[in-house]
Amino acid sequence: MQSKAVRIDRHGGPEELKIVEVDVGDPGPGEIRIRHKALGLNFIDTYQRSGLYPFKMPLLLGMEAAGVVEAVGEGVQHLKAGDRAAYASNPPGAYCELRVMPAKNVCKLPDAISFETGAAMMLKGLTAQYLLKKTLPVEGLQPGDHILFHAAAGGVGLIACQWAKALGLKLIGTAGTDAKCKLALDHGAAHAINYSTGNFAAQVREITGGKGVKAVYDSVGKDTFDGSIDCLRPFGLLAVFGNGSGPVPPVSLGTLASKGSLYLTRPTLFTHIATREATQAMADDLFAVVESGAVKIPVEQRYPLADVQQAHRDLEARKTTGCTVLTL
């Protein structure tokens, strides 16, 4: 069988993304073959393309998709041919029509959730889940607590705004334009700060009566790191889970001491979904909050797979909001 797929032969800019024909065979032990209906676009895809996260070449890109299982390999118990399914998974290769892949991180998609929503929600929704439910300050998070969430109008951010509100947390979101700030507020943020027009750390201190926040969730990286540290109260947690502006330079541990015995972590989704059981438990939590209506998945942009280069350009230029899908 043949499938269209997006491949790079060397690290570089969006111009390196090429659509090619690849052969797809039968699934082996622990694998499935899935025919995609929609594909998710994520910042991690641009990191893998650029070489910030280096891979051996050639590389098929894409970490997230939804579709229909065509065949299952030996030992796969939780899926069968004909099942609707969605995933966020290694190895990359989701930018395609059809693929064989490990079954471990693939989950049955509830009938109430569309393929497009499934493709948009898995990587970003599971990321929001592990941040708000598992990546917690030493004192925990209780209803009424303030947290700071950078890039609040992005795919993870808009899900986090809604989920934090459902948990009773007061999320302070940052974004680069007034329109994006309004979007964050519309999705449940308690406050929104345009970090392009002022000192966000000072505004966070003002909002919290000088106390600071218990936790900062930062996918921007280099440009926001110092300010994020300054937003934290004593024993606060900074979780840097992305590098939108570039990787954070080396940090002096003395800074964490002098700023109030702070905690710093660099979590990844793939550590959290390392087992089949963990993946399913997190996905069940995500599916439940989406099916309840407390969290809606905002698919704001759609690009045909043939326009994948433009999709990457727009994502890196901060022209997108919410979730983006590639259509087949």
Q: Under CATH, which number does the domain 2-124+273-327 receive?
A: 3.90.180.10
Domain(s) labelled CATH 3.90.180.10 in the chain stretch across 2-124+273-327
Q: How far, in Å, CA of 204 to CA of 182, rounded?
A: 17
| Residue ranges matching CATH 3.40.50.720 in the chain | 136-266
Q: So what's the pLDDT on residue 246?
A: 87
CA neighbours closer than 13 Å in the CB half-sphere of residue 264: 18
Q: Does the pTM of the predicted model rise above 0.75?
A: yes
Report the 10 Å Cβ neighbour count for 162: 23
Question: Residue 256: CA atoms inside 13 Å, Cβ hemisphere, count?
Answer: 13
Distance CA 103, CA 270 (A): 14
pLDDT at 127: 97
Rg (CA), the chain: 20
Q: What confidence score (pLDDT) does residue 282 get?
A: 98
What confidence score (pLDDT) does residue 25 get? 97
Largest CA distance in the chain: 62
The pLDDT of residue 244 is: 85
pLDDT by residue for the chain (328 residues), tens digit each? 999 999 999 999 999 999 999 999 999 999 999 999 999 999 999 999 999 999 999 999 999 999 999 999 999 999 999 999 999 999 999 999 999 999 999 999 999 999 999 999 999 999 999 999 999 999 999 999 999 999 999 999 999 999 999 999 999 999 999 999 999 999 999 999 999 998 999 999 999 999 999 999 999 999 999 999 999 999 999 999 998 888 899 999 999 999 999 999 999 999 999 999 999 999 999 999 999 999 999 899 999 999 999 999 999 998 998 899 999 9
- Alpha carbon 220 to chain centroid, angstroms: 12
- Reply yes or no on domain 136-266 having CATH 3.30.565.10: no
**HEC per residue, the chain:** CEEEEEEECCCCCHHHCEEEEEECCCCCCCEEEEEEEEEECCHHHHHHHHCCCCCCCCEECCCEEEEEEEEECCCCCCCCCCCEEEEECCCCCCCECEEEEECCCEEECCCCCCHHHHHHHHHHHHHHHHHHHHCCCCCCCCCCCEEEECCCCEHHHHHHHHHHHHCCCEEEEEECCHHHHHHHHHCCCCEEEECCCCCHHHHHHHHCCCCCEEEEEECCCCCCHHHHHHCEEEEEEEEECCCCCCCCCCCCHHHHHHCCCCEEECCCHHHHCCCHHHHHHHHHHHHHHHHCCCCCCCEEEEEEHHHHHHHHHHHHCCCCCEEEEEEC
Locate tokens 């407390």: which residue? 294
Residue 89 identity (one-letter amino acid): S
> CA distances (Å), 256 to each of 104, 131, 238, in order?
38, 20, 10
CA 248 from centre of chain: 18
State the pairing for strand pair 31-40/323-327: antiparallel
